[in-house]
Structure 1
Amino acid sequence: MKFSIITVCYNSINTIEHTIQSVLNQTFTDFEYIVVDGGSKDGTVEVLEKYKDRIRYISEKDKGIYDAMNKGLKMAEGEIIGMIGSDDFYPSNDVLEAVSAGFDTYKTDAIYGDKQFVNPDNIDKIVRYWTVGEYKKEYWLKGFMPPHLSFYVKKSCYEKFGNYRTDFTCSADYELMLRMLYKNNVSAHYIPKVLMTMRNGGTSTASWKHRWVANQEDRKAWKVNGLTPKWYTLWWKPLSKIVQLFRDK
């Protein structure tokens, strides 16, 4: 079962090589690695060129992060799609091996796992740990969502239910998973393993103002899919992130 791993980036010279190496060092080898660069001018493209024999990449202007992700999906030839950010990295070399085993064992359409956040100046220091837990559809009404970058899903699900909506600026990942898992009942299984490490302070965690915009887009995600959340659903979703700060790291 071939994987397609996709990274989108723009002016990521400080972290992109670490990301690339964490992908290429995986013990599972039946995958292609696609990098969609937005036309970087800081040396990122030179790093990508350095690995051109082991990755596929394009560098051109895009209309935003989700447009870039859709470009990656268009290029993808694997049966399973996974995303990794340009300043993120796999916490161990057996992540894709564990995900592959999950698909083989549970015969599901999607696999997801845990995620950890680290101090960007000291990546050995974990500052937040996201333990997701088993999947139950009704959990969406309690603010549930899988971590986007710890979420792997069959390409056929994108083909059937659509790609990322580019009319969202920061919550198209939430909308896509809501559309697939909650609205269209794509099957999913949780594996209790950290599948992604993210440097704290990325796009989705940038500021309270950004969090407010995300909350409005989360509401829009339910509306565009003709779905009705509970009154507390979209308030509990950001509050659950605060709870993560007090979990054991």
Structure 2
Amino acid sequence: MLLVIFFLTAEKMKISIVTAVFNRVDTVADALRSVEAQRYQNVEHVIQDGGSTDGTLDVIRQFSASSPKLVSEPDAGIYDAINKGITRASGDIIGLMHSDDFFADDLVLQKIAEVFRDPEVDGVYGDLDYVSSSDADKIVRRWRSGPYRADLLKRGWMPPHPTLYLRREVFDRWGLYDTSMRIAADYEATLRYLVKGDIRLVYISEVLVKMRVGGESNRSLFRILQKSREDYTALRRYGVGGINTLLAKNVSKIEQFFPRKGNPK
């Protein structure tokens, strides 16, 4: 009986998944399929397309039965598109599914919903695998984030953003993404929620999302430098640190290519 009550209570919680997409005809189907395959039933998939012209919209419309909340219109960049999607979302919990990503298994949202049964929890995150853009079964980098502690922020720590799920109230109270930042608005927003909002995060020690390599922030030296400038701006804005923190943030990524023996798959 208790198991039945728990299941019904968990399923009442609506989770909104926001996908911002523009010209991703080769990968968007995997993202959509991944959401559709989740065993958790109370899911809303909000798709914000930037006016794709490569066939992406045709692919999305094939999933129209499970993803009815599609809007295609010009935007001012990925964070503007994400903000539009969050504004349209009606869920109690909101997370992102980028158009190049997919869930690690079909129970991810169920696990997230179980943690959110605790009303004191503001956010949930887990681990992330980077996979080859040409072979999604080939892992090239493992991001094992570990439990959150406030002192870790000065060492450049942050949760893997594609795995982060937040209560709607976090966005309502502490705002959406700063669109003046072109690459690091996710980092700025995470620092804002943690430092100004003092939100409570819970870590799921499992890989929740797999991401194809080749993201926007690493496409060129110029973009890498731009991201570093924006990261530094965010660090100074919230008094978390400066150059040393920025260096630690970048250096910490190296070990993700050489995971320690015994790290979870």
1:47 paired residue number: 59
Shift of 1:207: 3.4
1:119 paired residue number: 132
The reply on whether 1:190 has 2:203 as its aligned counterpart is yes
Matches of residues 71-220 of structure 1 in structure 2 within 5 Å? Answer: 71-105=84-118, 107-220=120-233
Separation in 1, partners of 2:213, 2:121: 31
Residues 101, 211 of structure 2: 8 Å contact kept: yes
Residues 141, 229 of structure 1: 8 Å contact kept: yes
Residues 236, 242 of structure 2: 8 Å contact kept: no
Separation in 1, partners of 2:240, 2:136: 39
In structure 2, relative to structure 1, the CA distance for the partners of 1:231 and 1:14 (3 Å cut) is: closer
How many residue pairs match? The answer is 248
List alignment gaps of at least 5 residues for structure 1: none
> Partner of 1:104: helix, strand, or coil?
coil
Shift of 1:209: 3.1
2:20 paired residue number: 8
> Partner of 2:195: helix, strand, or coil?
helix
Amino acid at match of 1:44: T
2:9 paired residue number: none
Separation in 1, partners of 2:149, 2:105: 27
> Partner of 2:136: helix, strand, or coil?
strand
Normalising by the residue count of structure 2, what TM-score does the alignment of the two structures yield? 0.90
In structure 2, relative to structure 1, the CA distance for the partners of 1:228 and 1:192 (3 Å cut) is: closer
2:5 paired residue number: none
2:47 paired residue number: 35
2:38 paired residue number: 26
Separation in 2, partners of 1:119, 1:228: 33
Normalising by the residue count of structure 1, what TM-score does the alignment of the two structures yield? 0.96
1:65 paired residue number: 78
In structure 2, relative to structure 1, the CA distance for the partners of 1:92 and 1:242 (3 Å cut) is: same
Deviations 1:164-194 (A, max 9, x none): 0010000000000000012220111111011
Residues 79, 155 of structure 1: 8 Å contact kept: yes
Shift of 1:224: 3.5
List alignment gaps of at least 5 residues for structure 2: 1-12
Amino acid at match of 2:235: W
> Partner of 1:128: helix, strand, or coil?
strand
Q: Rg larger in 1 or in 2?
A: 2
Q: Percent identity?
A: 38
Separation in 2, partners of 1:17, 1:191: 26
